[in-house]
Homo-oligomer: A and B are copies of this chain.
Amino acid sequence: MGTDNVSAGPKPTVNDIARVAGVSLATVDRVLNARPGVRSATIEKVNKAIAELGYVRDAAAANLARRRFFNLLFVLPDTTNEFVSNLEVQVAQQGAKLLHERVLVSETKVPPFDPQAIVKTLDRLDAEHIDGVAVFGPETPAIRDAIKRARQKGIAVVALVADLPSSDRDHFVGIDNVAAGRTAAQLMGRFVRKNGRVLVITGSRLARDHLERRKGFDAVMGESFPELKVVASVEGRDDPDLVKQMLPDVFAAYPDLVGVYSSAAGNPGLISYLKESGRQENLVVIAHELTASSRAALKSGVFDAIISQDAGHLVRSAIRLLRATTHRLPFDDTQERIRIDIYVRENLPAERPV
């Protein structure tokens, strides 16, 4: 049955490298960790041995020997919206578990819509205390440069939820937001039963994720459902109160509204408006992110579908990628690809036990 222990030929270790390269363990370690103080000729020899043996570092042993904790920081916007709260819960939970693996995960919140706050936070970091950072923020030149500086200092950086492609962040952890918008449009087009207008609620013009969703949504609506007209979007700045306040006028202006696409945060405002105005009948509502309130809305029929990304997956993936980057380990592309989840009432996962 091919299940014996022997096979797979003993995996090469640092000792093997040292032997083959004819140097000491300490030197191998220096090369492996790009530490200074090794002649380039020696580095060559060691690297040759590494390649020859097909060496892959044993992360378990490395972590064991390294007395230092592996320190990660999540930089999140200081808003109270549920999606961000979900992320925080995950950061806390994962962090608690990883303590046992010598990984310390912390979190800091910065004022939203304030690029300078993120810049300051990043600039304050020092590679002695922080090994990696996950940043959820807007894409501005100042932030891009701050990320570059952080990486120069030797800190690994991943962009979370909203990509920051022009910075040279090591990875992006999040969904393809254009595709998410397209998905919402496809469902909208198929769910709506009569012609009319569709309203899009967005968040901020600074948020790349919101812009991309909008773009994808408009594209598919135009291509596949020309009989439905998308009306100028409401910019809710992720603020439920603001959203709720703006809606009456919009609904009054477009009596033939047949659908609403809530592409950002602020769902509670939308839900509350729909309930109070009794407008949920014959209106297809598709929103983003599975949270306590959106789940309830889906269950009760106020929402028809939710497009989501798994907060647990986002956080775990960010942590794995940060570790892989720092320790120069390989990672699994397909595992790190965050899925665009679609929820209807029947495939809602069981409620959190807690």
Contact = CB atoms under 8 A, between A and B. Distances in A.
B61 A346 contact: no
A346 B60 contact: no
Interface string A57-77: 011110110001101010000
B337 A349 contact: yes
A276 interface: no
Contact of A5 (B60, B61, B68, B342): B68
Nearest to A344: B186
A104 B56 CA distance: 17
B334 A352 contact: yes
A150 B55 CA distance: 37
B64 A61 contact: yes
Interface stretch (A14-22, A177-185, A226-234, A261-269): A177-185
Interface stretch (A33-41, A94-102, A161-169, A201-209): A94-102
A1 interface: yes
A307 B58 CA distance: 38
Nearest to A216: B346
A3 interface: yes
A113 interface: no
A130 interface: yes
Contacts of A186: 344-346
How many identical chains are in the complex? 2
A59 B349 CA distance: 30
Contacts of A220: 346
A283 to B, nearest CB: 14
Contacts of A59: 60, 101
A334 to B, nearest CB: 6
A97 B332 contact: yes
A346 B183 contact: yes
Nearest to A178: B346
A339 interface: yes
Contacts of A342: 341-344, 347
A88 to B, nearest CB: 14
B69 A60 contact: no
A95 to B, nearest CB: 10
Given A99-B11, A185-B346, A60 B71 contact: no
Given A60-B64, A333-B353, A344 B183 contact: yes
A312 B332 CA distance: 10
Contact of A339 (B183, B335, B341, B353): B341
Given A1-B106, A60-B63, A99-B8, A312 B335 contact: yes
A52 interface: no
Given A179-B346, A337-B349, 19 more contacts: A1-B108, A2-B106, A5-B68, A5-B71, A5-B104, A58-B64, A59-B101, A60-B60, A60-B63, A64-B64, A182-B346, A182-B347, A183-B347, A186-B344, A187-B344, A310-B339, A312-B335, A339-B349, A342-B347
7 contacts: A1-B106, A5-B104, A58-B100, A97-B332, A310-B339, A339-B349, A341-B341
Give the 8 A-B residue pairs with the shortest CB-CB distance, closest first: A60-B60, A182-B346, A340-B347, A342-B342, A183-B347, A183-B346, A3-B106, A186-B346
